[in-house]
Structure 1
């Protein structure tokens, strides 16, 4: 690795960890650690929301998705504005009014302690899967660049993020996210510029090759939910993004760090709408890489996986200095999301479990100790999950499938609480049936391979798991609630 590239990368790593750890000197209470005392500016919170949304899943898997297929995955981004509007209209005022650092406090108020436990555990499982996928994708370019083993890279980068997440709290997460968000946008634009300058025939040739190969297609417009059509991804995206902006602790916690409700709404709009053009850039990079290597096929190793094409380009085609910037950008994308997940997971463990069932009135000192120890524990667990991701065919598909499974109909339970008068018995029944449906949809393909009748297999696309699970929880709870009310 050229000295300049290595220097840029190492300076970035040391600077971001040192910057994050510096916030530890301001932590005098658990509230400082979890909400920053409610004093952070809206633009920094918005950049943090954006950086959390991007992650290395976007930075590497989206170009890989576009390279190997088309722009079908971009439809996911088109659902974001509607989801953000619903969040700003209903969810932000709700959480600001409740004044609890936990997103799942509302469920306990509405349906009882069981709902809070169920939702918080599902959230923790989702975050482990998310962090594992991100750290695996972080390891790919460094593996291609230096030849280091992927497991070793996962361990080193995971520990780096854990250090400043443990000590700096939410303020460290938000401010480092803001810096990392700027770096990753600059890195993506720099990469696109290099492709434009170096492809034979220029941008017009790029467009021609992409159009001939139907690379700009958003997918089939048939009303079919068994394959990855436009409508399937749009519906899936709406449900996932409603879950992100409406009930995900990572986002809810940021609403509480703002000074006022109005600033919390501004930060939500900034973070969500900024993702739309940036995800466009990521998909365009994947398409541009396809055209680049179609025009010069001898530059690409035979049989390389789509997820590894972008790292290969970064290593072999970018000028010295720009390579270091891109590697730093990828780490910026991944570290911002992992640090957010670590901090929010620690907050959930303290608020939803430790304070509820172990020590109802802990001192500030004990609370801070619990937050730091649980940050360490979640960080180490996520490193193990990242090691388990090593060797998957498509990290993006794997993450989408796992997020659908672990979400477990939590969105349906929230919607049931907000939009109906259903009580605990109806909610319990809805969740039980929803979880059974989710289990069937998730595991039927495996069961068919082991002898189950193929006619009993899930006919829908895997990504529809969260959609059907949410609908079952809501409709069953609402339906039985209406029957009880009628009687």
Structure 2
């Protein structure tokens, strides 16, 4: 089966796939969309399409390549981070989604402006998100392109540019509707590709799944020294991973425009709840498949084929190596297309969300001039193009530098930025007395604390999974104290805090009956 490398048929499948994705994205952009339709859709996008889109956006090639790499090189400890979904989804369904649906927000940061009566806070938060998103997009273009370059001999710069250009074209032309429907197709390709890979790998292993289960029972699930709970909560443990990741994901759901933008496509809380729950089931299920693949690769290469050159491959590239060298002709192309799918869905979403956030959040803060829907749409397209080109350049720079484990690096980065943003959102939602001064103080204090933790404290002393716990705690404490000191009997506007949830639900059920 494994006659080595990427064959012509596989390259043809990969190229045909890229062309098909481009045409599919352009098909959904054939109707001229302007203004709110460009940013929020036209109300015709089914909830399950949006749900798969959230899944495809969050499950980038960072996950595709490195989740399997983590369990190949070590244990399943990082799998427990996926269980953070069981904290994030119920809290989002109960608290965030009803507020966002009732307020009918345009962007995530629209919530901050209306809650704290501050255009400046909206603009600053949007800038933080854009910095985070450009970093994320750059890594997402670099990772699969670097792996594919190793296997094919094609120049990594060419692969990065190809991936970036295809995503730029359909996110530039069609707005959120084009992005969501294309994400749906990419998510389906991704799921099929991963499941096929798992079954083929198990078929290649002597003893199949039984051999993998044996390793899991003997230290590959949790290794010696990896604890369920560590009294020092700054050190990694199963408990810390679940809680820290849960708050990370919660911060994404509350404050990351690429996710919140999906919530703005409907005001139906029923559809929003279905969206998030389906996304949770898909994310946990596919992550588990990745971890099984990683342990399977360990059994196949390290135990059963110790002389195979694959044993010298870096952990983040071992899955792609198996795809290229052990899968039948044609299927290799399909699964590599799935990796490209993971990258492009995240990339196109990133471009669209950055363009939306710049146009509706930042431009409004720096310019007093009224803009028409057509002008907003044109600006968003130019931003999407500019940010896409800039991300390609950063990605090429990354491809020529050294990042040990992109997944861990990215999670540290995400905890740094989204934890800081998420803390300000949570402050606004849980405290009626929180005000503009408190929100600014929360953002500044948690930002400074997190920069110190990340760059001033030895990496081995503080787990990256505690970042979001620290930043949200600092935001709540500092934000609340400053609000109490500066509050002049102001109270939060209606329908902006968790104390309004029961009234929001009553209003919405009355509106439905009407």
TM over 0.5: yes
Report the equivalent of 1:451: none
Describe the shift of the 1:271–1:408 C-alpha distance in structure 2 as closer, same or farther (beyond 3 A): closer
Aligned partners of 2:152, 2:52: CA distance in 1, in Å?
Answer: 31
What are the superposed Cα offsets for residues 43-68 of structure 1, whole Å, 9 maximum, x if unpaired?
11111111111111111111111111
Q: Compute the displacement of 1:345 (Å).
A: 0.8
What are the superposed Cα offsets for residues 198-243 of structure 1, whole Å, 9 maximum, x if unpaired?
1123222232234334345594122333332212211220111101
Does residue 139 of structure 2 align to residue 133 of structure 1? yes
Report the equivalent of 1:453: none
The 5-angstrom pairing of residues 114-153 of structure 1 reads 114-153=120-159
1:281 paired residue among 276, 289, 292: 289
Report the equivalent of 2:384: 375
Report the equivalent of 1:431: 443
TM, length-normalised to structure 1: 0.93
Alpha carbons 1:173, 1:339 under 8 Å: kept: yes
Alpha carbons 1:36, 1:171 under 8 Å: kept: yes
Aligned partners of 2:369, 2:222: CA distance in 1, in Å?
Answer: 55
Does residue 425 of structure 2 align to residue 417 of structure 1? no
The 5-angstrom pairing of residues 29-178 of structure 1 reads 29-111=34-116, 112-178=118-184
Aligned partners of 2:53, 2:439: CA distance in 1, in Å?
Answer: 34
Report the equivalent of 1:254: 262
SS in 2 for 1:257: coil
Aligned partners of 2:420, 2:33: CA distance in 1, in Å?
Answer: 37
Alpha carbons 2:190, 2:339 under 8 Å: kept: yes
Structure 1 residue ranges without an equivalent (≥5): 449-456
1:340 paired residue among 324, 337, 349: 349
Alpha carbons 1:123, 1:248 under 8 Å: kept: yes
Describe the shift of the 1:256–1:395 C-alpha distance in structure 2 as closer, same or farther (beyond 3 A): same
Q: Compute the displacement of 1:302 (Å).
A: 4.9
Q: Compute the displacement of 1:482 (Å).
A: 4.0
Report the equivalent of 1:220: 227
Report the equivalent of 1:452: none
Aligned partners of 1:264, 1:347: CA distance in 2, in Å?
Answer: 20
Alpha carbons 1:39, 1:258 under 8 Å: kept: no
Does residue 335 of structure 2 align to residue 330 of structure 1? no
What are the superposed Cα offsets for residues 53-93 of structure 1, whole Å, 9 maximum, x if unpaired?
11111111111111111111111111103211111222112
Describe the shift of the 1:86–1:304 C-alpha distance in structure 2 as closer, same or farther (beyond 3 A): same
Alpha carbons 2:435, 2:487 under 8 Å: kept: no
Aligned partners of 2:56, 2:480: CA distance in 1, in Å?
Answer: 36
Alpha carbons 2:220, 2:295 under 8 Å: kept: no
Q: Compute the displacement of 1:347 (Å).
A: 0.4
Aligned partners of 1:115, 1:353: CA distance in 2, in Å?
Answer: 10
Aligned partners of 1:244, 1:300: CA distance in 2, in Å?
Answer: 39
Does residue 186 of structure 2 align to residue 180 of structure 1? yes
Alpha carbons 2:107, 2:264 under 8 Å: kept: no
TM, length-normalised to structure 2: 0.88
What RMSD, in angstroms, separates the aligned Cα atoms of the two structures? Answer: 2.1
Aligned pair count reads: 477
Report the equivalent of 1:191: 197
Aligned partners of 1:465, 1:388: CA distance in 2, in Å?
Answer: 27
SS in 1 for 2:172: helix
Q: Compute the displacement of 1:412 (Å).
A: 1.2
Does residue 395 of structure 2 align to residue 386 of structure 1? yes
Q: Compute the displacement of 1:94 (Å).
A: 1.5
Does residue 410 of structure 2 align to residue 402 of structure 1? no
What are the superposed Cα offsets for residues 337-367 of structure 1, whole Å, 9 maximum, x if unpaired?
1111111111000001123322542122211
The worse-fitting range, judged by mean Cα deviation, of 109-118 and 389-398 is: 109-118
2:215 paired residue among 209, 223, 238: 209
The worse-fitting range, judged by mean Cα deviation, of 131-140 and 280-289 is: 131-140
Does residue 371 of structure 2 align to residue 362 of structure 1? yes
Alpha carbons 1:440, 1:458 under 8 Å: kept: no
Report the equivalent of 2:477: 475
Q: Compute the displacement of 1:196 (Å).
A: 1.0
What are the superposed Cα offsets for residues 1-59 of structure 1, whole Å, 9 maximum, x if unpaired?
32321222111100001110222221231222111122211111111111111111111
What are the superposed Cα offsets for residues 286-336 of structure 1, whole Å, 9 maximum, x if unpaired?
111111112111223453210011111111111111101110110111111
Does residue 300 of structure 2 align to residue 292 of structure 1? yes
